[in-house]
Structure 1
Amino acid sequence: MDRDAIYAKVIEVVEDTLSLGDDVTLSEATDLKQLGADSFDLLELVTALEDEFSMTFADDAVGTISTVGQVVDAIASAQ
């Protein structure tokens, strides 16, 4: 899967998991915590992304990922 396809799917999963409205526009620079995501929301998001992409994030990577772009990069490098 190329980076653009990963990005599109990540956007979809983030919007669904965090129940974002149509008025929220996401970009690679979007900080997940600025979307109002608490630690439980982030754990739920990580789980949803792992399921969607059939992969597992490294424990140390989860703590350092804060933007949509970093999520895309982590998934791209894991594939």
Structure 2
Amino acid sequence: MTRTEIFDQVADIIADHFEVERDQINEQLNFKQDLDADSIDFVEFVLELEDTFGSEISDEDAEKLNTIGEVVDYIVAHQAEQK
């Protein structure tokens, strides 16, 4: 899966989960500052990512993910490790 395909899937999840217009989502979007996500919102989002991409995201790693770009980079890196 390419980085663009991963971004598109992550953006679709965010649009649905956080009720944000799809065209407003970019890699710099911050979960806490821009989406006003609380810890429960973020945990639910991470669980949805795990289901979508078939990999586990540790709590320690999840805490380091602040922007959409960081999430995409994380998935790309861990997708490569699974091969």
TM over 0.5: yes
Please give the alpha-carbon distance, in whole angstroms, between the structure 1 residues aligned to 2:12 and 2:46. 13
Give 5+ residue unaligned stretches, structure 1.
Answer: none
Q: 1:58 deviation in Å?
A: 2.6
Where does residue 10 of structure 1 map in the other structure? 10
Instruction: Write out per-residue CA displacement over residues 12-52 of structure 1, whole angstroms, 9 at most, x where no aligned residue.
Output: 011111222x3870110100112111000000000001101
Cα RMSD between the aligned structures?
1.4
Alignment of 1:72 onto 2:72: yes
Could you list the structure 1 runs, at least 4 aligned residues long, displaced by more than 2 angstroms after superposition: none
Please give the alpha-carbon distance, in whole angstroms, between the structure 2 residues aligned to 1:15 and 1:53. 17
Matches within 5 A, 1:1-79: 1-20=1-20, 22=21, 25-34=24-33, 35-79=35-79
How many residues are paired up? 78
Q: TM-score, normalised by structure 2?
A: 0.87
Please give the alpha-carbon distance, in whole angstroms, between the structure 2 residues aligned to 1:23 and 1:48. 17
| Contact 1:3–1:76 (Cα < 8 Å) also in 2 | yes
Letter in 2 for 1:43: V
Give 5+ residue unaligned stretches, structure 2.
Answer: none
Please give the alpha-carbon distance, in whole angstroms, between the structure 2 residues aligned to 1:78 and 1:23. 25
Please give the alpha-carbon distance, in whole angstroms, between the structure 1 residues aligned to 2:22 and 2:73. 25
